[in-house]
Amino acid sequence: MLIDEVKITVKGGDGGDGVVSYKNAMMEKGPTGGDGGRGGNVYLEAVSDLSALRQFRHQKDFTAQDGDAGSNRNKKGADGEDLILKVPVGTVARNLDLSQELELTKVGEKVIIARGASGGYGNSHFRSSTNISPRQSSPGHAARRFDFVFELKLIADVGLVGLPNAGKSSLLNELTRAKSKVANYQFTTLEPNLGAYYDLILADIPGLIEGASGGRGLGIKFLRHISRCTALFHLVPADSEDVVRDYKIIREELSTYDPKLVEKPEYIFLSKFDSVDPKAASEKLKQLRKIDSKTIAISVNDWESIEQVKKILNSIAKKKTTTS
């Protein structure tokens, strides 16, 4: 199961304590207590593994290593090791305590989310003309703890959208080497699936239903994944009783969730056109072409229609290359 939202607590390492120490040489009492080491930082690093949030399913508390205490001869304590938490590329990290958020949009991107605290001072730091043998040192500082929510938003070039059982998974499998589960019932796909068509990433977004933007069905759990897609392939199945109504349901849910979603380039497909008789398929295609005259009837069993889809993908890929 794809874990796409988790809440955890993170904390940088505490600073090490400063120490009190003196020279051992006869007649010399100069202070030699070293400072404490700095605590480790907590980083997020983006990786390509979409299942990386799974590690946070049970473990919820993460702390970087504390700094070591100082030692004699003015030796500073070792700094604590940094803690690196790997998250899927496309993760939004929200700091609930500071009301701040950051996004990781590139594989290998690395950001600090909790800093380690500084170490305390050894007694050599307190030496002065009036106190040549100070007996005091200071403890290491405590690092601050933060609550975070990590939310994965898939980064894809093309998002396949439509009501349940519209043929999205079948199309993804046909165009890529994805192995999405396919069956003739609603909600076969229960989590987003990705596939690569050359340099394009295609995302099969699980079927939405009327009221999804308000939490019905699988709800906004998957609507947020669409926000990162560059273009949308909207599949309306030919076996639908009312293709125009089905089309408008999805458009309304997208608009309600985020008006910017309906501004994305959209390509409409009458999918599974071979599942009904040719006359009925032709009539439904005419209805959709009143919305968009470029609507195409497709079937994974029809080579020519799949080639038309590939031409559209090639055009999107070309635009991506020229703008990158």
Determine if residue 189 is labeled as part of a ligand binding site. yes
Determine if residue 271 is labeled as part of a ligand binding site. yes
Determine if residue 164 is labeled as part of a ligand binding site. yes
Determine if residue 272 is labeled as part of a ligand binding site. yes
Determine if residue 299 is labeled as part of a ligand binding site. yes
Determine if residue 278 is labeled as part of a ligand binding site. no
Sort 102 into a burial class: Cβ within 10 Å, 0-12 / 13-18 / 19+.
middle
Determine if residue 162 is labeled as part of a ligand binding site. yes
Determine if residue 88 is labeled as part of a ligand binding site. no
Determine if residue 300 is labeled as part of a ligand binding site. yes
List C-alpha distances in Å: 58 to 62, 153, 169, 192. 12, 21, 30, 22
Q: Return d(Cα 183, Cα 126) in angstroms, integer.
A: 74
User: Which residues lie closer than 8 Å to 90 by C-beta, 6 or more apart?
Assistant: 46, 103, 104, 105, 152, 153, 154, 155, 228
Determine if residue 301 is labeled as part of a ligand binding site. yes
Quick check: 43 and 113 in contact, CB under 8 A? yes
Output b/e per residue, 146-159; b: 16+ Cβ within 10 A: bebebbbbbbbbbb
Determine if residue 206 is labeled as part of a ligand binding site. yes
Quick check: 157 and 194 in contact, CB under 8 A? no
In 3D, which of 64, 37, 146 has the Cα closest to residue 101? 146
Please measure the distance between the N-terminal and C-terminal CA atoms of the chain and give it in whole angstroms: 33
Quick check: 167 and 300 in contact, CB under 8 A? yes
Determine if residue 119 is labeled as part of a ligand binding site. no
Determine if residue 163 is labeled as part of a ligand binding site. yes
Which segments are annotated as binding site for GTP?
A: 162-169, 187-191, 204-207, 271-274, 299-301
Binding-site residues sit at: 162-169, 187-191, 204-207, 271-274, 299-301
Indicate the annotated binding residues for Mg(2+): 169, 189
